[in-house]
Chains A and B, each alone.
Chain A
Amino acid sequence: DGGITQSPKYLFRKEGQNVTLSCEQNLNHDAMYWYRQDPGQGLRLIYYSQIVNDFQKGDIAEGYSVSREKKESFPLTVTSAQKNPTAFYLCASSTPHREGNQPQHFGDGTRLSIL
């Protein structure tokens, strides 16, 4: 079955460490997205990529970095510069606009906590 796989499901980080969250999709989607979810705040866009080797900052990109070397993969690195990294991180993908009507599909998320 096609879908989006996020790993690991739970991740712990020590102060000052960088950690990388994995997101892989086999839906043949061109666009991929990373969101951060905090209680009571909905989802906020961190980074997105519409094609391979290209990505743009979202609303809360500070302290995060991404790469898009393959169509299937869009890993997110939470750097030590991110002062409050504890959150639930969701990856999504979609086909980009032709008629502008392709909703995003989501993975099951990674919960990141600080030790």
Chain B
Amino acid sequence: AQSVTQPDIHITVSEGASLELRCNYSYGATPYLFWYVQSPGQGLQLLLKYFSGDTLVQGIKGFEAEFKRSQSSFNLRKPSVHWSDAAEYFCAAMIKAAGNKLTFGGGTRVLVKP
């Protein structure tokens, strides 16, 4: 079955430190991949997306993600986190033939220490 896994439920990071969030997918073919961010009580905002081509993708708010086919991974990174980056982050995947339906990982909640 198709699935998306985010191994880390919570991550705590100090302000100014780097951040990496892990995402692994299990699909028969390479899916389209997305990272979304959700602030408490809010909807989801798209950070970045990967369809094909360059495996390092730049997104909004200083985030980037790297697609690694050999590891079935699409990890999200930020070199220096700000207190405003505290939120929940979701990795999602979609197969073109599957009606544009997204499959989400369970999410990673990021806490930022001053």
Contact = CB atoms under 8 A, between A and B. Distances in A.
Contacts, number: 64
Nearest to A6: B43
Interface stretch (A14-22, A62-70, A72-80, A98-106): A98-106
A5 B25 CA distance: 31
A108 B107 CA distance: 17
Interface residues of A, number: 32
A90 B104 CA distance: 13
Contacts of A85: none
Interface in B25-74: 32, 34, 36, 41-46, 49, 51
A43 B90 contact: yes
Query: Interface residues of B toward A: which range?
Result: 20 to 34
Interface of A: 4, 6, 31, 33, 35, 40-45, 48, 50, 56, 58, 90, 92, 94, 96-97, 99-109, 111
Given A45-B102, A48-B99, A104-B102, 13 more contacts: A42-B107, A43-B90, A50-B100, A94-B100, A96-B100, A97-B96, A100-B32, A100-B96, A100-B100, A101-B49, A103-B34, A107-B43, A108-B42
11 contacts: A42-B104, A42-B107, A44-B104, A50-B100, A96-B99, A96-B100, A100-B96, A100-B100, A103-B46, A106-B36, A109-B42
